[in-house]
Amino acid sequence: MASELPPTRWALGGAKNSGYGVRFAELISQGKDIDGEARLADTLLDRGARVLDAGSGIGRVGGYLQARGHQVLAAEPDPALVAQSHDLHPELVVVPLEILALTPEAVAAAGGPDSFDLVVCVGNVLTFVADGTEVAVLQRLRDLLAPGGRILAGFHLRGGPSTARPYSPEEFIADATSAGLRIDHRFGGYDLRPVDDEYAVWLLSLA
């Protein structure tokens, strides 16, 4: 199924996007804090919750949450990042699929649960999906939520990667609403700073 899907902006960016994995490897070796997103996610959860890390990259968020006892499934279509994730977090199960391919059957085949308490979709994933698939991606994530489940999403509004799309708050709110999601909160960062025009962190739930 994945081969029938339109190419993501991440895939189209090719080598231009390779800096992400390299940069985080450096940050880790320098002992820098790369866990802000994961700490906020953990705060949102009961212990032992079901988490989907959608577009998990090197597994930094999913790996952190799994180490704190949550039941995490990661989904990452870039094979180089899947390999880096396996090296860094061998226990984290990564299904090598795009979000649009994450049907309940695919999740079950990967050993995942029927639904999730939290979907984490951070680090600009939503600005890297294939052009025109934003609402479908958000719908797919919505359909994987358990009752009371939430989505934590975040992306740059300014100064983001050159291969990612610009995504205005107004467009995102319209897309999320079309996908049957409610905007519960918007912040300017994972430390819950006030809304600004640089970065947007969103908490979404079933409308």
Ligand X SMILES: C[S@@+](CC[C@H](N)C(=O)[O-])C[C@H]1O[C@@H](n2cnc3c(N)ncnc32)[C@H](O)[C@@H]1O
Which residues bind to ligand X, rule: CB under 6 A?
8, 10, 20, 54-58, 60-61, 75-78, 81, 98-100, 122-125, 128-129, 137
Euclidean distance between CA atoms 68 and 193, whole angstroms: 25
Inter-residue contact 131 to 6 (CB < 8 Å) = yes
Q: Which residue, 160 or 180, is less far from ligand X as judged by CB?
A: 160
Q: Which residue, 98 or 117, is less far from ligand X as judged by CB?
A: 98
- 43: how many CB neighbours lie within 10 A of its CB? 9
Euclidean distance between CA atoms 207 and 151, whole angstroms: 12
Q: Which residue, 34 or 183, is less far from ligand X as judged by CB?
A: 34
Give me the least distance between CB of 77 and ligand X, in Å please: 5
Distances from the Cα of 166 to the Cα of 74, 127, 159, 188, angstroms: 25, 7, 10, 16
Nearest residue to ligand X, by Cβ distance, number only: 123
Give me the least distance between CB of 15 and ligand X, in Å please: 14
Give me the least distance between CB of 53 and ligand X, in Å please: 7
Q: Which residue, 49 or 56, is less far from ligand X as judged by CB?
A: 56
CA–CA–CA angle 178, 182, 183 (5° rounding): 110
Give me the least distance between CB of 6 and ligand X, in Å please: 9
Give me the least distance between CB of 187 and ligand X, in Å please: 16
Q: Which residue, 79 or 147, is less far from ligand X as judged by CB?
A: 79
Name the nearest CA neighbour of 97 among 85, 110, 87, 86.
Answer: 110
